[in-house]
Amino acid sequence: MEYSLGIDAGGTYTDVVIMRNHDGVIVDFYKSLTTYPDLVEGVKNAIDGLDCSYLKGVNIVSVSTTLATNTVLENTGYPVGLVLVGDYEVPEDLDVEHYIVVSGGHTTRGDEASKLDEEKVEDFIKNVKDKVSAFAVSSYFSVRNPDHELRVKQKIKELTDYPVVCGHELSQDLGVYERGITAYLNAQLLPITTKFIDSVKYEIERRGIDAKMRMLKCDGSIVGINEALEKPIELIFSGPSASLMGAAYLTNLDSCAVVDIGGTSTDVSLMENGLPELVDTGAVVGGWQTKVRALRMETSAMGGDSHVWVKNQTIRIGPRRVTPLCVAAETYPGLVNKLKKERISSSKQLTENIQPTKFYVKTREKPVNLTESESRILELIENNEPASINEIFRETFTPDIYLNSLIQKRLIQPIGFTPTDALHILGDYEYWNINASHIGATLLSRLVNTLNYKFCGQVKDKVTHNLALNLTSFVLKNVDRSEIDKILHDSHLSKIKILIPLILIGASAQVYQNNLKKSIDADIRVPEFAEVGNAVGAIAGKGVKRVYILIKSVYDYENNMMKAVVFSPGRRDEFYDYDEALEFTKKRGHELIFNYMDEAGLDKNGVKIEMNRDDISMDGSSRTPVETNLVFVGVWNINYKKSKK
C-alpha cells in the first residue's frame, strides 16, 4: 500500500497526516508543538507520533510552512545587500539597511539604456559583504534583457560565496521596484528556507523513507523541492494556501471562504469553482508589495500565540509572536515562581517588550556581529532559564532597541501572555500549565483595573472581532473597512450575511465558531480533521504552472527589416519570421511546464495544458501583430476521492 505524508510547520503546531494514495483516505495524523526557531525538532516530534507501519509505504512527502510568511511579518529575515540597476525612484521610507542604486538597465526592446557602473557595484559589495548573508539584484527592464542583473550576480560570486537572487528569476511582470523588493525578500529567506528544507530531507531519509519531496506554493500549487530552495518567496503564503486546499478537500466544496486561525497570524482566503482566487498584481505581505502571484488573502498578525500586552490601560494584541506562558511553564518549571515575583513597571515605561509577563530565553543560533549592549543582554540570560524583562531592564536600563535586534537575529525567543493563555483560563482550551496563565492574567488585568477572568474574556472578544473583521472585509472588498467595523461593533442590531460556506481551520477553530456566529450570518463549519487541515492541504495541492511569454515586433535598423523578439523566463530570442517565433514560443511554453512538473515529481501524462493568446495589432489589421501575449497554464490534478476515514 502506498501513502502520502503531509507536513505543515505552523507558528504554534506542526501537523502531520498520512493519506492513502489510491482513495485519499486519512489513515493517521498527529500534532506536535512547533519548535522555534529550529522548526525541524517539531517536525521530528510530529512524525514520531505517527504509526510507523504506514511510514514504510510513504512515497510522497509534501510540506507547507508559515516559516516564510512569519519571517517577513516579524521582520526576522537575514540581512541582505540590495543592488538596484537603472533609473530607480526609491521611496524615502524604504526599510532596507544595505542598498545601492547604480546606472545601467535596458529599454523595452531589451537594448542597453546606459552602461552598467561595475566599479560602484564592486565597491558596494566589498563594503557590505561582512554585514549581510545574501544579495539581491534588480535591473531596469531585466524581463526584456537580464544581462546587467547577471553581470552583477557574477561580480558578487567573484567577491563572496553568498547566494544571489535576480529579479528576472522570480517574475516576468513589469514593475522594476517591486521586482527588486521581491528579490530582496527572497534573498532574506534563502538561508532560513535552505536550513529548514535540508533538515526535513535529512529527517525523512534518516527514517529510510524513499519519497519524492514537494512543497506547497502561495497559489495553492505544489512545487519540486529544488525550485522551493531557489524561490522561497513563493512560499510566503504556503500555510494559508494549505488551509484553503485542505478545507476544500475536507468539506468537498468547490467554493468556500476559509479562516485559518494560526499561532502567529489569522488568514482568510477564498476558493471559487475549484480554484483559489489569486492576486495578479502581486502579494502584499508585511507591508511589502511583491511581484509574487499568490492567492488573494487577508492576513493579520493576530493568532493564538500573539503577544497580549497593555499600554495606557488598553489591551493590545500582537504583532509579534511569543511562546505562551502556559506552554513555556511546561518546559521551564521555574517560570511560575518567577512570574509570582514579578513587579509591575511604571506605566510610562510600558512597551511591548517591557511587560510584567515578558520573559526571554536563548535560542541555539550562533551569535555574530553583536554590539556591546546585545552581548551584555545575552550574558544576562542564563542557558535553559528564562530571564524576565525586569531582570534585563535593571542591568541595561533601555533594552528595547537591543531586544528587538536580538529577536530579529533569532538569538532570543520571547515568552509572554497570549490568547492561548486566555482560553486556558476561560476553560476553552486546557492542554498546558493553567497556573502560569492565571498568574499572567492577574498581572496584566491590574493594568486595566479589572479581574483576570474578565480580562481574558476581553482578549477572546478582541480575537473574535478581528476574525469577523478580516473575513467580512475580505469578502466585501469594495466596502470601506471602517464601515464594516462599525456594523460588527453593533452586531446585536444587525448582521452581515455571507452567502458561501465559511470554513474554520486550526487547533482553536471550534472555540471561536459560536462566537463568530454572533457577529456574522453564515454557514460556519468546522470539518473533521480541521486541527490538521493545513497538513491535508499540503498533500491535496494541485500541480499548476503558469508561463507568460511575450512576442514583440521590432524594427532591425541594421538589417533594415522587422524581427520578432521572444521574451520568455530567463531568455531573449530573435526571429525574422513571426510564424517561426510563434512556433518556438509554443514549444518553449510546453517545455517550461513539463520541466516544472517533472521536477515536482508529477506524471507528465496527467498534465493538461491550455494556451491563451492575445494579439495586439495596429488599427485592428490582420497584419503581423505588434505584440502577442501568450499564457500557458498546465494543470496536474490529484485524483483522490474526497473521502475520510
Give the count of domains, the chain: 2
Q: What is the bridge-based pairing of β-strands 323-324 and 412-416?
A: parallel
Q: Which domain holds residue 412?
A: 307-416+433-448
Q: Which of 114-118, 523-527, 598-602 has the lowest mean pLDDT?
A: 598-602
pLDDT bucket at 130, cuts 50 / 70 / 90? confident
Which sign, positive or negative, has the C-alpha torsion 374, 379, 383, 386? negative
**Residues of the chain with pLDDT > 70: what percent?**
91
CA distances (Å), 90 to each of 78, 87, 198, in order? 21, 9, 36
pLDDT bucket at 146, cuts 50 / 70 / 90? confident
Is residue 600 included in any domain, yes or no? yes
Q: What is the pLDDT of residue 194?
A: 84
Q: What is the pLDDT of residue 234?
A: 79
**Residues of the chain with pLDDT > 90: what percent?**
17
Is residue 624 included in any domain, yes or no? yes
Is residue 497 included in any domain, yes or no? no
If one compares 548 and 169, the residue with the highest pLDDT of the two is 548
Whether residue 453 is predicted with pLDDT greater than 80 in this model: the reply is yes
Is residue 386 included in any domain, yes or no? yes
Compute the average pLDDT of residues 190-214. Answer: 86
Q: Yes or no: say if 261 and 505 are a contact pair by the CB < 8 Å rule.
A: yes
Question: Model-level pTM?
Answer: 0.72
* Amino acid (one-letter) located at 336: V
If one compares 82 and 381, the residue with the highest pLDDT of the two is 82
Whether residue 643 is predicted with pLDDT greater than 70 in this model: the reply is no
Q: What is the pLDDT of residue 645?
A: 42
Residue of 264, 340, 342, 258 lying closest to 304 (CA atoms): 264
CA distances (Å), 14 to each of 10, 187, 237, 242, 460, in order? 6, 25, 16, 13, 23
Whether residue 231 is predicted with pLDDT greater than 90 in this model: the reply is no
Q: What is the pLDDT of residue 468?
A: 86
pLDDT bucket at 359, cuts 50 / 70 / 90? very high
Whether residue 428 is predicted with pLDDT greater than 80 in this model: the reply is yes
pLDDT bucket at 75, cuts 50 / 70 / 90? low
- Residues facing residue 300 across a β-bridge: 266
Whether residue 124 is predicted with pLDDT greater than 90 in this model: the reply is yes
Is residue 325 included in any domain, yes or no? yes
Give CA–CA dist 451/459, Å, rounded: 12
pLDDT bucket at 641, cuts 50 / 70 / 90? very low
Q: What is the pLDDT of residue 416?
A: 93
Q: Which of 48-57, 104-113, 167-176, 217-226 has the highest mean pLDDT?
A: 48-57
Is residue 186 included in any domain, yes or no? no
Give CA–CA dist 49/16, Å, rounded: 9
Q: What is the pLDDT of residue 498?
A: 87
Q: Which of 498-512, 598-612, 613-627 has the highest mean pLDDT?
A: 498-512
- 441 and 557, same structural domain? no
Q: Which of 317-321, 390-394, 528-532 has the lowest mean pLDDT?
A: 390-394
* HEC per residue, 251-289: HCCCCEEEEEECCCCEEEEEEECCEECEECCCCEECCEE
- 547 and 440, same structural domain? no
Whether residue 202 is predicted with pLDDT greater than 50 in this model: the reply is yes
Is residue 533 included in any domain, yes or no? no
Q: Which of 54-63, 419-428, 520-529, 535-544 has the lowest mean pLDDT?
A: 535-544
Is residue 593 included in any domain, yes or no? yes
Compute the average pLDDT of residues 503-523. Answer: 85
Q: Which of 61-70, 488-497, 543-552, 588-597 has the highest mean pLDDT?
A: 588-597
- 330 and 437, same structural domain? yes
Q: What is the pLDDT of residue 424?
A: 92
- 444 and 336, same structural domain? yes
Whether residue 74 is predicted with pLDDT greater than 50 in this model: the reply is yes
Compute the average pLDDT of residues 263-279. Answer: 81
Whether residue 640 is predicted with pLDDT greater than 60 in this model: the reply is no
Give CA–CA dist 541/241, Å, rounded: 8
pLDDT tens-digit series, residues 465-479: 888 888 888 888 888
Q: Which of 104-113, 134-143, 147-156 has the highest mean pLDDT?
A: 147-156
Q: What angle do CA 243, 249, 254 make, to 5 degrees?
A: 100
C-alpha cell at 263: 499561532
C-alpha cell at 21: 494514495
The chain-wide mean pLDDT, for the chain, equals 83
Residue 625 maps to which CATH number?
Answer: 3.30.70
